[in-house]
Amino acid sequence: MQLKVFFFGATADAVGSRELELATVETTTAQSLIDQLSQQHPALVKHKLLIAVNEDYADADTILNDGDELALFTAVSGG
Partner 1 sequence: MPATDFTELTTDPIDITSVARRVVPPECGATVTLDGYVRQVTKGRETLHLVYEAYEPMAVKEMQKLVEHAKKEFEIANIGIVHRLGKLEIGETSVVISVAAPHRRAAFAACEWLIKELKRTVPIWKKEVYADGEVWIEGDLPESAVVSGQAEK
CA-angle at 39, arms to 1 and 9, nearest 5°: 85
Cβ pair 37, 5 in contact under 8 A: yes
**At 7, which helix (H) or strand (E)?**
strand 2-7
Assess 20 for contact with partner 1 (CB under 8 A).
no
Residue 64 CB, shortest distance to partner 1, in Å, is: 14
Please, which residue, 64 or 71, has the CB nearer to partner 1?
71
Of residues 20, 22, 24, 47, which one binds partner 1 by CB under 8 A? 47
Question: What would the x/- binding string for partner 1 be over residues 48 to 77, using CB under 8 A?
Answer: xxxxx--xxxxxx----------x-xxxxx
